[in-house]
Structure 1
């Protein structure tokens, strides 16, 4: 009988530890320190290193890896035939040689487009990637991925679809390898309910919050389902940074394109920032 009890105790301990290591659904939201970076400052390449290569393409993501960013950020939408594709605008007009809305085009139609020539002839022929292609290419690379659900109201069920793909690629098990964010906070709440052990972020636009600022009531709501508050940099001051930290969240403002903006944000205590130029974050690595 004693041997049986000992075995059952060991088995229970093994299951609990295993659940925690795999980031199981019972795992309580924990500190951002679990995200593995080379410093305490988090350097996020906006749509890849989009200052140097066409945004949301493999070329831009490869450049972010080459420049040793901690994360690259990307935008996810859905094609007419149900594939998750990486593109910022709801239409293809700005960043490809085609016209039309993403949701009205099949994956085959989207793949025929040139997504690089608008940036430089050097990138002629660059394609719109699928989220699956991106996850597969970078899942074992030394970089993390910040996924933005773009206009999720246009794509009912996209939260579950992203969660299913993360699970299929086993990228939900390493807490911090992937963070999912959106300006649509109902969408992020749904994703958090679906996959609560994966980190999430509440994007905060200047237009929506310029009159009220980001209030304590807003932050208290975000803290129920988000690990990050990621606002437009114009909304950020030291007081907001302190209030975000008091609620156990981290703050990554967007989008930094100058050394002046980078320096201001660093000195008011942000945890990192989103930038087109990853070198803007290097100066703070050793500090």
Structure 2
């Protein structure tokens, strides 16, 4: 496919290790770590309130290669960046994202739950994130529950096109979702933007399933619980790349280095980047 691009090449071949022996593997070298894309999950979410400017700024300071963001839509049709389909967990408000206007969401405190120093952090809009970070850090855009927001694919595509990010080069853009149909649509709308699918089940990582996914996607992004050497080999054999989530321990990061994945999606960017 003409939008394939390579990251994470040149990793030294590791010894074949069983899942039970991973804990005893030697820690990967700094050189090996540099070959893997470091994707800050909702920003540096371990240290700052997820999906906020504070979290993304910290991820940039921590030298992440990408920030991962979650996109939904407000009641009045504005694209907003928040993970849950309600605002209850990460703000001082309540209600479903799709039932609140942008003004209502902007009035919420999206930071204090993580610490008093983050009081007043807002739910950012998709456009705010694009304008602040494109060209500065890669952006992995997750379409969160797109089935709840008919037409959101066209809105996201239009926002990227307006900023000439539909042909990403140095401004690294990837789209992903658990909704495979949404990603098929995004592949049609933005044929030059790399597409990823999120997976959580071994049934989604069979050779047959991967072959079907490879018809429209460049990335297969599974939970690390289903990552094996065979899955990585199968993904690479189809000219796709693999980015795994969500790393919250050194052991999980080291396991994925051993598996030779192309990207690690983590709440702790410092667990992946040897410069931290």
Fold shared, TM-score > 0.5 on shorter chain: yes
2:78 matched to which residue of 1? 83
CA radius of gyration, larger in: 1
Give the distance between the partners of 1:68 and 1:145, measured in 2 at CA. Answer: 13
2:175 matched to which residue of 1? 180
Give the distance between the partners of 2:265 and 2:168, measured in 1 at CA. Answer: 22
**C-alpha deviations, 1:172-225, integer Å up to 9, x for none?**
2224611000000000000001111001101002xxx24x36111110111011
Q: Kindly indicate whether the alpha-carbon contact (under 8 Å) linking 2:135 and 2:172 is maintained by their aligned counterparts in 1.
A: no
Matched, 1:162 2:156: yes
Stretches of structure 1 that go unaligned for 5 or more consecutive residues are 1-26
1:227 matched to which residue of 2? 218
Give 2:245's match in structure 1, choosing from 238, 244, 254: 254
The count of aligned residue pairs is 251
Q: Kindly indicate whether the alpha-carbon contact (under 8 Å) linking 1:48 and 1:57 is maintained by their aligned counterparts in 2.
A: yes
Give the distance between the partners of 2:273 and 2:59, measured in 1 at CA. Answer: 13
The within-5 A match list for 1:22-61 is: 28-33=2-7, 39-61=34-56
Of the structure 1 ranges 265-274 and 147-156, higher mean CA displacement relative to structure 2 is found in 265-274
2:28 matched to which residue of 1? none
Q: Kindly indicate whether the alpha-carbon contact (under 8 Å) linking 1:80 and 1:102 is maintained by their aligned counterparts in 2.
A: yes
Please report the TM-score for the alignment, with normalisation by the length of structure 2: 0.87
Please report the TM-score for the alignment, with normalisation by the length of structure 1: 0.84
Give the distance between the partners of 2:243 and 2:219, measured in 1 at CA. Answer: 7
Tell me the CA shift for residue 140 of structure 1. 3.0
Q: Kindly indicate whether the alpha-carbon contact (under 8 Å) linking 1:266 and 1:272 is maintained by their aligned counterparts in 2.
A: no
1:199 matched to which residue of 2? 194
1:109 matched to which residue of 2? 104
Give the distance between the partners of 1:67 and 1:31, measured in 2 at CA. Answer: 24
Question: RMSD of aligned C-alpha atoms?
Answer: 1.7
Runs of 4+ in 1 over 3 A off after TM superposition: none
Stretches of structure 2 that go unaligned for 5 or more consecutive residues are 10-32
Tell me the CA shift for residue 268 of structure 1. 1.4
